[in-house]
Amino acid sequence: MASVKSRRPYRSRLRAEQAAQTRLRILEAAGALFAVSGYVAVTIDAVAEKAGVAADTVYAIFGNKRGVLSALVDLRVTGSAEESDVLAGDAPRALRQVTDQRQMVAGFAADIAERVERVRPIDDVLRSAAVVDSDIAELRARMQANRFSKIGAFTEWLATLGRLRDEMDADEATATTWMLTSPEVNRMLRDVRGWSSQRYSEWLSATLLRVLLP
């Protein structure tokens, strides 16, 4: 009996790892399909087939296609299939410990530039789907509000280290940062102007330093 009990934690970990891999495989499959065909045209059956799982598995994990899309956004934002709070990640927690304003802005810019690069393709899917699907429009609106809130945490951290440019208040600092780090701005610079990801990241850091700090 003792040997049976000792194997249970291992089996539990193995099942958890397999479940996490299945979840990630479904999200990656959905992301690839959405990018090519758009949200509306993709079915749960198609996602399941590409991921190599049963459609019932997709429903059991995500509930519906909207749930898949929402989880995919979380994955792109956080970089983790299991974590939905961006502030709980290693980079934001490390940033919170920085004591120099310029270093904090530079660290934030580098981190969020990578996130925007990951998120923007799926935000393109959201924008297109929101035109014809009110539920997706509501989801994107909530995401925008959540993004504003998370950026507000950064500007609060920044303000505790010293004054902001021209006595800028927290709401203006958050709104300015929210706008500059938006997928829309990334799209204009990367697609319309043809900038590289490195140039975009460097521009974002330099611009945030200029507009936020004295």
pLDDT in tens, 161-176: 999 998 889 899 999 9
Q: Are 30 and 46 in contact (CB under 8 A)?
A: no
Q: Is pLDDT at 142 greater than 50 in this prediction?
A: yes
pTM: 0.82
Distance CA 27, CA 47 (A): 8
Distance (Å, whole) CA 102 – CA 105: 5
Q: Is the pLDDT of residue 12 over 80?
A: no
What's the pLDDT score for residue 1? 46
> Two tokens at 67?
């749930």
What does the pLDDT read at residue 178?
97
Mean of all residue pLDDT scores within the chain: 90
Instruction: Give the Cβ contact number of residue 145 at 10 Å.
Output: 10
Using a pLDDT cut of 70, give the percent of the chain over it.
93
**What would the pLDDT profile of 39-95 be if each residue is shown by its tens digit?**
999 999 999 999 999 999 999 999 999 999 999 988 888 887 666 678 888 888 999
Residue-level pLDDT at 84: 66
The pLDDT of residue 77 is 87
